[in-house]
């Protein structure tokens, strides 16, 4: 029997010892990162309200040093929805992510924390925004992509001769003002891009 271990995290508390453990035990880590500093820190704050971008990037460099197998999970929300290429190019060129997953945040405006009611908060991405976001990324980054698999709930793209990428870990509540698990309940659509081969091909 083969057991595959995955974990989703913002990475702010993981150190060298953790990275060594993940590498030695073949963990796949999903790192939550919503783009450049100003876009990431719009909602990704800790419980005291402090921004987390610098801490996430510091840990990301630690993971690269230890060669931990990881991918990037980016939530698309009101703050970054109108900046698709800025987000994508940052993750592709500066973070140098192999796999990127985009997931929409649609947060119900209620007191229960569940998917109830007919209105959403102002942090939510609108349907047309999310559509334009994915189209912009796709048109910019996938013109030379080949091979792939398309399903109703997700789109995976990867190059010939490479196994289909493993699924990422479950989404984790961001610190500070958390999104409940149910926020993701009706937001199953994701696009996962194999991005390294695109580096330098598009401006």
Q: Which of 68, 187, 65 is nearest to 120 (CA)?
A: 187
How do residues 53-63 score in pLDDT, each as one tens digit?
999 998 888 88
How do residues 116-167 score in pLDDT, each as one tens digit?
888 889 999 999 999 999 988 888 765 544 333 333 333 444 444 444 444 4
pLDDT score, position 58: 86
How do residues 153-173 score in pLDDT, each as one tens digit?
334 444 444 444 444 444 333
| pTM as predicted | 0.70
Q: What is the DSSP letter of 133?
A: H
> Using CA atoms, how far apart are residues 34 and 83, in angstroms rounded to an integer?
11
Show me where the domains of the chain are located: 6-198
End-to-end CA distance of the chain: 45
Would you state the torsion angle of the CA atoms of residues 109, 111, 113, 117, taken in this order, to the nearest 10 degrees? -50
> Using CA atoms, how far apart are residues 139 and 157, in angstroms rounded to an integer?
13
Question: Contact at 8 Å (CB) between 165 and 154?
Answer: no
Domain covering 6-198: architecture: Alpha-Beta Barrel (3.20)
**Residue 84, number of CB atoms within 10 A of its CB:** 24
Give the phi and the psi of residue 77 in degrees, each rounded to 5: -140, -175
> Using CA atoms, how far apart are residues 187 and 190, in angstroms rounded to an integer?
8
**Three-state secondary structure string covering 166-184:** CCCCCCCCCCCCCCCHHHH
> Using CA atoms, how far apart are residues 81 and 128, in angstroms rounded to an integer?
10
102's enclosing H/E stretch is: strand 99-104
> Using CA atoms, how far apart are residues 10 and 194, in angstroms rounded to an integer?
21
């Amino acid at each position: 029997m083969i057991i595959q271990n995955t974990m989703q995290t913002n990475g702010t508390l993981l150190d060298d010892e953790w990275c060594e453990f993940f590498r030695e035990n073949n963990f796949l880590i999903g790192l939550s990162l919503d783009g450049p500093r100003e876009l990431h820190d719009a909602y990704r704050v800790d419980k005291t309200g402090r921004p987390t971008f610098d801490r996430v990037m510091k840990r990301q460099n630690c993971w690269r040093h230890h060669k931990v197998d990881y991918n990037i999970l980016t939530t698309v929300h009101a703050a970054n929805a109108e900046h698709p290429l800025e987000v994508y190019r940052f993750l592709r060129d500066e973070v140098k992510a192999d796999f990127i997953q985009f997931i929409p945040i649609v947060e119900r405006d209620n007191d229960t924390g569940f998917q109830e009611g007919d209105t959403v908060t102002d942090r939510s991405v609108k349907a047309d925004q999310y559509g334009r976001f994915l189209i912009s990324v796709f048109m910019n980054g996938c013109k030379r992509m080949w091979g792939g698999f398309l399903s109703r709930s997700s789109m995976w793209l990867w190059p010939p001769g490479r196994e289909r990428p493993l699924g990422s870990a479950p989404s984790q509540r961001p610190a500070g003002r958390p999104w409940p698990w149910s926020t993701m309940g009706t937001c199953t659509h994701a696009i996962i891009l194999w991005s390294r081969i695109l580096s330098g091909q598009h401006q």
